[in-house]
Amino acid sequence: MLYRKSEVERVEVSHCVSRRCGGDVSRRFAVDAVGLVLALASTSAVGANWEVAPRIGAAYLYSDNYHLELPGGELDVSGAQADVSVTFSTVDPRTTVEVTPRVRATYFPDESDEDSNDYFFDMVLHDETPRRRMGIAGSFSQEDVVRSEFPGTEIEGDLGDPEDLDSGRIIERSRRDLIRIAPYFSYDMSQRYTLDLDAHYVDASFDRRAVGFQEDFREVGASLGLGIRVSPRSSVTIRGVVAKYETAIDADAYGAHLEWATDYSPTSRFYIRIGGQQTEPDRGHSDNNVVAGIGGRWQSERNRLFLDITRTVGPVSAGTIVERHQLRIRLDHDISQRFTSIIGARVSRNESIEERSAYPTREYAAADAGFEWRVNRQWTLHATYTYRWQEYEDEPSDASANGVLIGVTYESRRTD
What is the pLDDT at residue 304? 95
Domain 5-411 sits in CATH 3.30.700: no
**Mean pLDDT, the chain, as a whole number?**
87
Predicted pLDDT at 416? 61
**pLDDT at res. 399:** 95
**pLDDT per residue over 207-254, tens digit each?**
887 777 788 999 999 999 999 999 999 999 999 999 999 988 899 999
Greater pLDDT, 193 or 20? 193
Structure confidence at residue 346 (pLDDT): 95
Q: Mention every residue, 6+ apart, whose C-beta is less than 8 A from residue 11.
A: 5, 171, 210, 211, 212, 213
Least confident span in 9-13, 148-152, 328-332, 368-372: 9-13
Share of the chain above pLDDT 90, in %: 67
Average pLDDT in the 254-279 region?
Answer: 94
- Mean pLDDT to the nearest integer, 279-286: 85
Q: How confident is the model at residue 46 (pLDDT cuts 50, 70, 90)?
A: low
> What's residue 93's pLDDT?
80
What is the rounded CA–CA span in Å between residue 243 and residue 156?
Answer: 21
pTM: 0.85
Average pLDDT on 299-305 reads: 93
Residue 16: pLDDT above 50? no
pLDDT of residue 170: 76
State the pLDDT at residue 414. 65
Residue 30: predicted pLDDT: 47
Q: What confidence score (pLDDT) does residue 236 get?
A: 97
Check pLDDT > 90 for residue 384.
yes
Look at residue 408 in the predicted model and tell me its pLDDT.
Answer: 97
Q: pLDDT (tens digit, 9 = 90+) per residue, 85-130?
A: 999 999 888 899 999 999 999 999 999 999 999 999 999 999 999 9
- pLDDT digits 0-9 by tens, 125-145: 999 999 999 999 999 999 998
Whether 21 shows a pLDDT value over 90: the answer reads no
What's the pLDDT score for residue 47?
53
| Region 174-189 average pLDDT | 95
